[in-house]
Amino acid sequence: MFKQFSADFIEGCCTAVMAKSGAGKTTLLYLIGRLLYPYEGEINYSVNYPLFSYVFQENRLIENVSAVRNIKLVNHKLSLYKIKEQLLSIGFTSESVNKKIRDMSGGEKRRIAILRALLADYNILLLDEPFTGLDRYTKQLMIECVKKNTIGKTVIIVTHNEEEAISVGCSKIIYL
**CATH topology (fold) of 14-175:** Rossmann fold (3.40.50)
Q: What pLDDT is stored for residue 40 in this prediction?
A: 87
Least confident of 34-43, 49-58, 140-149: 34-43
Q: Name the pTM for this structure.
A: 0.95
Average pLDDT rounded to a whole number, residues 48-52: 92
For the stretch 13-23, pLDDT in tens is 999 999 999 99
Sketch the domain layout of the chain as residue ranges: 14-175
For the stretch 106-140, pLDDT in tens is 999 999 999 999 999 999 999 999 999 999 999 99
Q: What's the order of all strands across the beta sheet hosting 52-55?
A: 52-55, 124-128, 154-158, 14-18, 172-175
